[in-house]
């Protein structure tokens, strides 16, 4: 090896990053908000352990405790104050149903450790269309989870500080922005952000229940509040409606099954442990709050939540423990949306992999999060918050339909799966999942009937629309793949290339573009549109000096349009040689400062847009970077 080659081989390499341009202001802001990019090799390190997984995936289910009891009472009170005593029996039935659903989802995690939950289970066991119905229901559910949770969290705040009631929409959007940024920072970091508020709520709620039960065991019950009764009995319709409303306590339990890949190995075991802890906490807190609400004869109030009233009764007014519980409740209600931020992007990525939604949803961002899904979820939920004026009670009827569609299809799907494989305790699984599926289907019918006029019809109509959209996207991708396939195609014939350079004068950017154009083809033509005789004369003289023999075509424009004569000329050249290429080389000035972009290249953008759909016309830009 020659000496010079040896020296080159051992010489230290220059740091190419030292010559990279400075980050733009936008890039610096993005890095400040989201942090430095993470390499793909760190993906395994970004997964959740059991504690952070509980914080991320349980917040939706646990937060339901804050309003599920209230939703039962809002219906029962229509039959008079005595009817509210039925809140506890209804809560017990809902708790039992929740445990059945959790058992079914434990089997789902074992059978489908790659995640996807109800969508994957229904697709593989009931058929593609059922899977897409489950997917549409889940995506709708996730969007509504964010809107309901954030709105309910702000309602908890305004219950403690009534002066803020008029700012609830602005406060909800601010909370939504914080959640979006936290999730864009990545899976692991979002778990750290949201673990403390979640466990603070768990401890606060357990303290409330413990203190409340102790007080109930040592003191007489409060007097019955004054409220005129509207009837002597409680109609079956009201009981069913109260039961359906209270089933909001079950929302969120499917999130763990949907996000199994987010857990550290062994992922299925960690996910199942998290699901069991979630179920135990959710049932305990829901029954505890319902028992205390019944004991203290709490009635729903438009200005104060049931949890707030229970806390005042237990802690003796607006004391420090009361405000701690309200702060914890607000935090968990807002963070309940984080469950959807974990589930929506993951499900969207699975659907994108199956070609049912745009493939951009399968892309991971700088921080290994599915950023496009996170942003889409945030925008949709923010729109609902604004449209419904931040009122969670107006959103809940829309919310529950998607939840129970997913529950029902998932459990019936597991029945089919176990009947097919017949391994382990499959008979018990078939019995439990079949019973759970029948019960959740019943709840779905009740919700659909009782809440139809209140807004449930929107969800019932939206899910088929989403399924139609999924199928349309899949048909497009399938036809595009078939058309782009190389199998069975002959080698295309060689084609000539006519290169056209639109010019608005003669300057360095135009000369650079001309040099590039001459490297593409010997047939190069510069085109200038004549809208001013003096400018045309100047351009002709300059082109004679700098054009290097490239012909200049001057197009008349009696109506002073620049774009139309140019497009007509390009179309004429294209029609003359329909089998050949026409390349339009556009000189573009690239300014140094971002705000200068509005001052340049507007005609270039219009030209590119006009030529985008011509199959044999290729548009390419040659940038000339300004130094000042």
Mapping DSSP onto H, E and C, the string for 33-53 reads HHCCCCCHHHCHHHCECHHHH
Q: Where are the beta strands (DSSP E) in 459-551?
A: 497-502, 524-530
| 260, 109 Cβ separation under 8 angstroms | yes
Backbone phi, then psi, for 422, in 5-degree steps? Answer: 50, 55
Q: For residues 332 and 338, what is the distance between their CA atoms, to the nearest angstrom?
A: 9
Mapping DSSP onto H, E and C, the string for 556-617 reads ECCCCCCHHHHHHHHHHHHHHCCCCEEEEEEEEEECCCHHHHHHCCHHHHHHHHHHCCCCCE
For residue 22, what pLDDT is reported?
A: 46
| 183, 364 Cβ separation under 8 angstroms | no
49: exposed, middle or buried (Cβ count in 10 Å: 0-12, 13-18, 19+): middle
Contacts of 377 by beta carbon, 8 Å cutoff, 6+ apart: 142, 143, 146, 340, 341, 344, 345
Q: Which helix (H) or strand (E) holds 432?
A: helix 426-450
C-alpha distance across the termini of the chain, in Å: 47
Q: Which helix (H) or strand (E) holds 622?
A: strand 617-625
Q: For residues 106 and 253, what is the distance between their CA atoms, to the nearest angstrom?
A: 11
| 259, 57 Cβ separation under 8 angstroms | yes
Q: Which helix (H) or strand (E) holds 625?
A: strand 617-625
Alpha carbons within 13 A on the beta-carbon side of 51: 6
Low-confidence ranges of the chain (pLDDT < 50): 1-23, 222-233
Report pLDDT digits (tens) over 574-613.
888 888 899 999 998 888 776 776 776 577 788 888 888 8
| 305, 153 Cβ separation under 8 angstroms | no
Query: Could you give the C-alpha distances from 26 to 29, 30, 31, 597, 628, in angstroms and in order?
Result: 5, 6, 9, 15, 20
Q: For residues 404 and 315, what is the distance between their CA atoms, to the nearest angstrom?
A: 36
Q: How many CB atoms lie within 10 A of CB 404?
A: 26
Q: Is the peptide bond before 266 cis (omega within 30 degrees of 0)?
A: yes
Distance of CA 499 to the CA centre of its chain: 44
Query: Could you give the C-alpha distances from 407 to 108, 146, 336, 476, in angstroms and in order?
Result: 12, 19, 19, 30
Token readout for 544 is: 């004679």
| 331, 197 Cβ separation under 8 angstroms | yes
Token readout for 581 is: 């290429």
| 346, 48 Cβ separation under 8 angstroms | no
Q: Which long-range contacts (CB under 8 A, 24 or more apart) does 280-283 make?
A: 281/58, 281/62, 281/202, 282/58, 282/61, 282/62, 282/64, 282/65, 282/98, 282/249, 282/253, 283/95, 283/98, 283/99
For residue 126, what pLDDT is reported?
A: 92
Alpha carbons within 13 A on the beta-carbon side of 397: 18
Backbone phi, then psi, for 506, in 5-degree steps? Answer: -120, 115
Token readout for 147 is: 């809107």
| 84, 73 Cβ separation under 8 angstroms | yes
609: exposed, middle or buried (Cβ count in 10 Å: 0-12, 13-18, 19+): exposed
Nearest to residue 412, comparing CAs of 370, 390, 442? Answer: 442
| 59, 332 Cβ separation under 8 angstroms | yes
Backbone phi, then psi, for 623, in 5-degree steps? Answer: -80, 145
512: exposed, middle or buried (Cβ count in 10 Å: 0-12, 13-18, 19+): middle
| 543, 552 Cβ separation under 8 angstroms | yes
The crossing angle, in degrees rounded to 10, of helices 128-160 and 65-76 is 90
Q: For residues 305 and 328, what is the distance between their CA atoms, to the nearest angstrom?
A: 14
Percent of the chain with pLDDT over 90: 25
Pairing of strands 581-590, 552-556: unpaired
| 395, 103 Cβ separation under 8 angstroms | no
Q: For residues 385 and 107, what is the distance between their CA atoms, to the nearest angstrom?
A: 35
Query: How many distinct helices (H) and strands (E) make up the chain?
Result: 22, 5
Q: How many CB atoms lie within 10 A of CB 478?
A: 11
Report pLDDT digits (tens) over 184-204.
876 555 556 667 888 889 999
């Amino acid at each position: 090896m020659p000496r010079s080659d040896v020296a080159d081989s051992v010489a230290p390499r220059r740091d190419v990053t030292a010559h990279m341009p400075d980050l733009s202001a936008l890039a610096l802001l993005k890095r400040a908000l989201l942090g430095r990019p993470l390499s793909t090799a760190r993906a395994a390190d970004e997964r959740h352990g059991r504690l952070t997984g509980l914080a991320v995936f349980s917040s939706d289910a646990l937060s339901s405790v804050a309003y599920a009891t209230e939703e039962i009472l809002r219906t029962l009170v229509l039959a008079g104050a005595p009817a509210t005593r039925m809140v506890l029996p209804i809560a017990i039935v809902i708790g039992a149903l929740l445990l059945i659903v959790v058992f079914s989802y434990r089997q789902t995690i074992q059978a489908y450790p790659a995640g996807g939950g109800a969508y994957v289970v229904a697709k593989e066991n009931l058929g593609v269309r059922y899977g897409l119905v489950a997917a549409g229901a889940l995506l709708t559910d996730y969007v509504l989870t964010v809107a309901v949770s954030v709105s309910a969290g702000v309602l908890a705040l305004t219950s403690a500080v009534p002066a803020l009631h008029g700012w609830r929409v602005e406060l909800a959007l601010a909370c939504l922005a914080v959640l979006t940024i936290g999730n864009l920072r990545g899976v692991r970091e979002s778990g750290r952000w949201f673990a403390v508020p979640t466990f603070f709520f768990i401890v606060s709620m357990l303290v409330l229940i413990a203190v409340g039960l102790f007080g109930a065991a040592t003191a007489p019950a409060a007097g019955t509040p004054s409220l005129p009764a509207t009837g002597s009995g409680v109609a079956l319709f009201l009981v069913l409606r109260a039961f359906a409303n209270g089933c909001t306590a079950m929302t969120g339990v499917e999130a763990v099954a949907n996000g199994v890949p987010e857990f550290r190995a062994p992922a299925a075991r960690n996910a199942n442990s998290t699901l069991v802890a979630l179920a135990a906490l959710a049932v305990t807190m829901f029954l505890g709050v319902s028992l205390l609400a019944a004991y203290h004869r709490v009635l729903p109030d438009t200005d104060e939540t049931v949890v707030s009233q229970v806390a005042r009764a237990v802690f003796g007014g607006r004391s420090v423990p009361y405000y701690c519980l309200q702060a914890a409740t607000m935090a968990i209600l807002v963070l309940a949306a984080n469950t959807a931020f974990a589930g929506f992007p993951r499900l969207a990525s699975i659907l994108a992999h199956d070609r049912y939604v745009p493939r951009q949803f399968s892309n991971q961002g700088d921080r290994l999060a599915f950023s496009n899904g996170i942003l889409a979820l945030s925008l949709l939920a923010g729109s609902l918050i604004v449209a419904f004026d931040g009122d969670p009670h107006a959103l809940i009827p829309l919310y529950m339909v998607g939840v129970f569609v997913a529950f029902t299809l998932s459990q019936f799907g597991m029945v089919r799966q176990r009947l097919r494989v017949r391994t382990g305790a499959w008979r018990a699984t078939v019995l439990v999942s079949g019973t759970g599926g029948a019960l959740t289907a019943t709840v779905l019918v009740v919700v659909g009937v009782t809440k139809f006029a209140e807004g449930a019809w929107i969800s019932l109509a939206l899910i088929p629309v989403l399924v139609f959209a999924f199928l349309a996207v899949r048909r497009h991708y399938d036809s595009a793949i078939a058309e782009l396939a190389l199998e069975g195609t002959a080698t295309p014939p060689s084609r000539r290339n006519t290169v056209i350079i639109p010019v608005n004068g003669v300057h360095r950017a135009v000369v650079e573009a001309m040099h590039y154009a001459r490297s593409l083809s010997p047939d190069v033509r510069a085109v200038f549109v004549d809208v001013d005789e003096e400018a045309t004369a100047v351009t002709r003289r300059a082109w004679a000096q700098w054009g290097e023999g490239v012909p200049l075509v001057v197009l008349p424009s009696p109506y002073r349009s620049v774009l139309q004569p140019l497009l007509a000329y390009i179309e004429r050249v294209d029609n003359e040689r329909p089998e050949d290429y026409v390349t339009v080389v556009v000189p573009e000035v690239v300014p140094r400062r971002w705000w200068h972009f509005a001052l340049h290249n507007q005609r270039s953008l219009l030209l590119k847009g006009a030529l985008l759909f011509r199959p044999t016309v290729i548009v390419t830009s040659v940038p000339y970077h300004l130094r000042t």
